[in-house]
Chain A
């Protein structure tokens, strides 16, 4: 058991704060959720009877930028957490703002991509690729959007000065969710865009 596990909360049977165990349990269940979506995408891959197909439509440069933004946002949120734990309000607010901006740009990238694909004739009902692609990346985008909203609420709390070091767990839990959203994209990016 880690030393800091007992530091800031009432005693628990696990030694960890209950909220932290809860978010990890939730993340575990989310792994199974995304595994089913990724499986579905892979099963239907190449089974289309009509286009547009992944080869014709997917844009690597745009999504690579989005991937980099999401990776940077993971770095920024962990730096914000470090600032929160050390009582460095300037670092907390600055890095958290950077995380939120990256998240908003990623969602914007995905909205643009979806609109572009719709314009090119790929809709949910067009073919198996359309159905599985929009479901997988759409659910991920929804998770990113929820993460952005969550981080904005933490950001407002920090701006009001209500996120002292002893309450840094509030950010740590949001950050764990955000990192999970990032690791899911780390899988989706090569599976959907690079193995087409």
Chain B
């Protein structure tokens, strides 16, 4: 990667990419994402095996997968989408709908759990 090329650019162009992390950080994040994906699949495989650790992992595999997924989501948003460097306005434009989205998912699931466990049971 030509890291010296920025010296030949117009001042504005050089400044544009200056606050973003470089390839070394991107490769580290990529490796971390790959490892987290491996952990997700490993958690799934172990939880579905007949072993002592599998029996231990099975009840907690869903929270484990959700935590790993949230970690990967945050890494991509912060480093690859540059939310960590690009200011609060853009973060707000992403995080606010994300919170509403999470509330929608939780509310709909709660609503339908209520429907299936109580209302259908009463019929």
Contacts and interface: CB of A to CB of B under 8 A. Distances in A.
Contacts of B60: none
Nearest to A46: B116
Given A39-B104, A71-B37, A78-B80, A2 B87 contact: yes
Given A60-B41, A194-B65, A39 B2 contact: no
A16 B81 CA distance: 15
Given A5-B87, A60-B44, A72-B30, A168 B17 contact: yes
B89 interface: yes
Interface in B66-106: 66, 68-69, 72-73, 76-77, 80-81, 85-87, 89-90, 93-94, 96-98, 100-102, 104-105
A134 interface: no
Contacts of A74: 30, 33, 76, 80
Interface residues of B, number: 63
B3 interface: yes
B108 interface: yes
Contact of A186 (B34, B69, B109): B69
Contacts of A190: 40, 65-66, 68-69
B122 interface: no
A7 B16 contact: yes
A79 interface: yes
A17 to B, nearest CB: 10
Contact of B97 (A32, A72, A168): A32
Given A27-B93, A75-B33, A168-B13, 4 more contacts: A34-B101, A85-B13, A87-B9, A165-B13
